[in-house]
Amino acid sequence: MRVAVIGAGYVGLIQAVGLAHIGHDVVLAERDAERVAAISAGRSPIYEPGLPELLSATLADKSLTVTTSNIDAVAGAEIVFLALPTPQGNEGEADVSAIFLVADELAPVLPEGCLVVTKSTVPVGTNLEVGVRTGRPVASNPEFLREGSAVTDFMKPDRIVIGAQDRSYVDKLVELYRPIDAPILVTDLVSAEVIKYAANGYLAARVTYANAMANVCEAVGADVRDVLLGIGYDHRIGFSFMRPGPGFGGSCFPKDTRALVKLAADAGYEFSLMRGVIATNEEQLARTFAKVVAAAGGDVRGSRVAVWGLAFKAGTDDVRESPALAIVGRLLDAGADVVAFDPQATVPGISAAPDAMAAVDGAEVLLIATEWPQFQRCDLQAVAARMSGSAIVDARNLLDPTAVKAAGLTYTGVGR
Ligand code: UDX
């Protein structure tokens, strides 16, 4: 099928390469010419395991082409995916102006009968508005890609959600995804738009529950790992996605939880549970920062603090809304001398060591902020020898407290 994808961000790039890989003829449009040049040359602008190989293959067999022109991209397209940024607006709502700008630009040139599909996470009613502006049939097909496993999540999704006004539009999308083996849920437009927010809202709440239980465990002297294991055996709860940490971040949860509260409020429902998730998440960041200050004896001014991890989670180079970055900012504001190391992420203005061990040289405190596996395998004796102080704040519960203490270091974890 001839498909256009508008927007080569984390979602659009994966959608375009993925659809090309499963046999479609895809044109990806991106307004940033440098990004187009990099992608056309087979250089992925994002770190995603498996993406470089797919990108090269789909460029080589010409199933994927890239352009800076939205108008060229939609020529002859049977389906047009809008994968544009929907950042958080001032009131917490999703800013969908980029979606409507492109809808208005393309309206005069979209092929007759072409289906316009919104891939971006958008508030209720956005798809209908896109239909009005383009005069074309619309469908909602939200993505559930996790950064760091986006290619796998595209090829082996837990489910495909299609929201449409008319069954005939659904059939076109079912045909498009035929090579992918996954359950397809067909629903109406509004429900499909809500499903995406409901998923991220629940997942953010689940992580936050784990973080809050960790804090309870700290208060009463319990071990959160055993507590979460103890409840996880209940088949209704399970073990996944409940690893305590510095709080959730990334380009989705912070934005989507706020947009969910806003869209509910605008419709007359006060989503106090989700407000509580957002507030608890902010607290988790503050608690983690406070642990580093306490580990430095109550004041980090002039202290060297080593920070392992800047990305918002392991497996990605993305630092958007990263808790690690937020904590580094607070440490710098408090006068600490921060040296960071992240295997993938770099941030201008933050002093970066060439490797994890170099980062701890002369450090009074070591903060582990992102769960990169290599940090778990560190040589604790070597860490102890190279630090000037002896405190480790393990915000991801990566290390074994007994081993840390055996190396002559003090250990502060999350909930244990
Ligand atoms: C999320 C959703 O998982 C995905 O389905 C959606 O399409 C986009 O948003 P992503 O933001 O890439 O994906 O990251 P995710 O793996 O969900 O983690 C989100 C945040 O929660 C990260 O900061 C991560 O560190 C944190 N987290 C996640 C935890 O602290 N503990 C966990 O057990 C899981």
Phi and psi at 142, nearest 5°, equal -60, 155
Q: pLDDT per residue over 231-259, tens digit each?
A: 999 999 999 999 999 999 999 999 999 99
In which band, very low, low, confident or very high, does the pLDDT at 169 lie, cut at 50, 70 and 90? confident
Pocket test for ligand 1, best of 145, 160, 207 (most atoms within 8 A of CB): 207
How far apart are the CA of 248 and the centre of ligand 1, in A?
Answer: 7
Q: What is the pLDDT of residue 331?
A: 98
Element (H, E) at 331: helix 323-333
Q: Where in the chain are all domains bearing CATH 1.10.1040.10?
A: 196-278
Q: Where in the chain are all domains bearing CATH 3.40.50.720?
A: 2-187, 283-412
Lowest model confidence (mean pLDDT) among 40-49, 166-175, 205-214? 166-175
CATH superfamily for 2-187 is NAD(P)-binding Rossmann-like Domain (3.40.50.720)
pLDDT greater than 90 at residue 166: no
**Nearest alpha carbon, ligand 1 atom 31:** 243
Mean pLDDT of 128-142: 95
In which band, very low, low, confident or very high, does the pLDDT at 88 lie, cut at 50, 70 and 90? confident
Ligand 1 nearest atom to the CA of residue 150, by list position: 12
pTM (2 d.p.): 0.95
In which band, very low, low, confident or very high, does the pLDDT at 167 lie, cut at 50, 70 and 90? confident
Q: What is the pLDDT of residue 56?
A: 97
Cβ(308) to ligand 1 under 6 A?
Answer: no
**Residues 243, 244, 249: CA angle, nearest 5 degrees:** 95
**Nearest alpha carbon, ligand 1 atom 26:** 248
Cβ(207) to ligand 1 under 6 A?
Answer: yes
Q: What is the side-by-side strand order in the sheet with 138-140?
A: 64-67, 25-29, 2-6, 79-82, 115-118, 138-140, 160-164, 184-187
Q: Name the residue type at position 353.
A: A
pLDDT greater than 90 at residue 122: no
- CATH class label, 196-278: mainly alpha
Q: How far apart are CA 131 and CA 117, in angstroms?
A: 10
Cβ(245) to ligand 1 under 6 A?
Answer: yes
CB contact at 8 A, 239 and 104? no
CATH of 283-412, one of 1.10.340.30, 3.40.190.80, 3.30.160.270, 3.40.50.720: 3.40.50.720
pLDDT greater than 90 at residue 78: yes
Lowest model confidence (mean pLDDT) among 81-95, 132-146, 234-248, 303-317? 81-95
- 114 belongs to the catalytic site: no
**Nearest alpha carbon, ligand 1 atom 16:** 146
